Amino acid sequence: MKPILLLILALVIASGLAYQVHQDPGYALLTYGQASIETSLAVLIFLTLIAFIGFYFILRTILRVKATPKVLGKWNEKRKQKRSTKEINKGLIDSAEGNWQRSEKLLVKHAEQSDTPLLNYLSAAHAAQSQQAYNRRDEYLYRAGEVLPDQLHAIHLTRAKLQLAAGQFEQALASLLQLKAATPSHPIVLTLLMKTHQQLNEWEALYHLLPAIKNNRKIPQEEWQTIEKNTLTQLFKYPSNITQHDINTVWNSLDRKQKSDPDYLTPYVSYLIQKGEDKLAEKILLKELNTQTNEALLSLYIQLNISSDKKLQQLEKWRNKQTNSTELLNTLAHLCLEQQQWGKAKSYLDDSIALHPTGLAYLLLGQTYEQLGEPSELINASYKTGLELSVNKKAINAAAPAVAHT
């Protein structure tokens, strides 16, 4: 529409000028030295206009010719860019479909022409790792750092993730410790570091890391709750790698609910008994057994290096409060057997079996029958029943996780 309007305007102006020239053509004289040219003004203007237009087109042609290599270069670059984008998309699709070798080749080949070279190299690193080509993987990550040095944190974080996924826990730990030094509160760094320490069974290091993880609001509680319990359990079960002072510090750092958890309480008290700290162990056991009956804790109580009469009196007190505890009755029978009080042991075991038959009760009853000189048929029958109950209990416990899983 615009060219048509310009053409109409030009025709109108030309018509006006033609009419004016027809009315008064004017006169023009050009001289140069002895030479002179006479013509009408209209002709002079026309020639000047033609000369100007000719000069304009010649100049424009020269500029276009001069700019041709640059234009061709841009066109070629755009063509390569378009082709590169197409090949990169193919590479990403191959990666999603598990065609790692072809994906790696396409992504690396077109990384320099890509608008997102970081994506190319990181995706190529994933593809290389999927082929267990760890050297190529590290090379691509290095190239990514060269191309985009301002993205080194993301690149190192990717390296740590890939190392962890590949089972290279020592290398992942080194990468993550560097990242933690640079960004101490980064939630992903802390989470990955926690998982790496767990894989390496570095429980003390994990214990010291947990406060930073628990105080980080960006890390959900379910991320660290199970790992915290596993860490504390391992520290109490195997405290040989840390000093006695440290294990007591760990215990004192627990809250009231945690100190009542048998998973922590049992190994800690067992540790105290091994170290000869029976008074402290007794104090802790008395506090907990006054509120809960636990077979493992009762077993630890009778291991204390204190008077047998004192143990028996305390167990009797608990029995008077908890008349339906087979664990307590079995423990009393066990202690009576150690004290050679065969009659009392049998009485406790009869009460226990009447309340709820267990493998332990029948096995202890077999020992009691032996000491009382009972017939071998009765002794063997007790042992046989005890073994059957114990085997059945183990089978039920083994089947329970499978049933829960299905």
In tens, the pLDDT along 221-252 reads 888 988 998 898 888 887 765 665 588 888 88
Average pLDDT over residues 282-294: 87
pLDDT at 401: 46
Q: How many residues does the chain have?
A: 406
Give all strands (DSSP E) within 33-139, no chain letters.
Answer: 35-39
Average pLDDT over residues 3-25: 64
Q: How far is CA 73 from CA 69, 77, 78, 88, in A?
A: 6, 6, 8, 22
Q: Show me where the domains of the chain are located.
A: 307-406
* Structure-model confidence comparison of residues 312 and 13, the more confident one: 312
The β-bridge partners of 29 are 38
Q: Where does the pLDDT of residue 302 fall: very low under 50, low under 70, confident under 90, or very high at 90 and above?
A: confident
Copy the structure tokens of residue 319.
């029995």
The 10s digit of each residue's pLDDT in 114-162 is: 777 888 888 889 889 889 899 999 998 998 888 888 888 999 999 999 9
pLDDT at 406: 38
Asked if pLDDT for residue 297 goes beyond 80, the answer is: yes
Where would I find the H helices in 98-151? 100-109, 117-130, 134-147
Q: What is the mean pLDDT of the chain?
A: 81
The 10s digit of each residue's pLDDT in 162-197 is: 999 999 999 999 999 999 999 999 999 999 999 999
Asked if pLDDT for residue 267 goes beyond 80, the answer is: yes
Q: What is the CATH number of domain 307-406?
A: 1.25.40.10
pLDDT at 41: 66
Average pLDDT over residues 377-395: 84
pTM of the predicted protein model: 0.63
Radius of gyration, alpha carbons of the chain = 46
Instruction: Please give the Cα distance from 333 to 372 (Å, whole number).
Output: 14
Average pLDDT over residues 348-357: 89
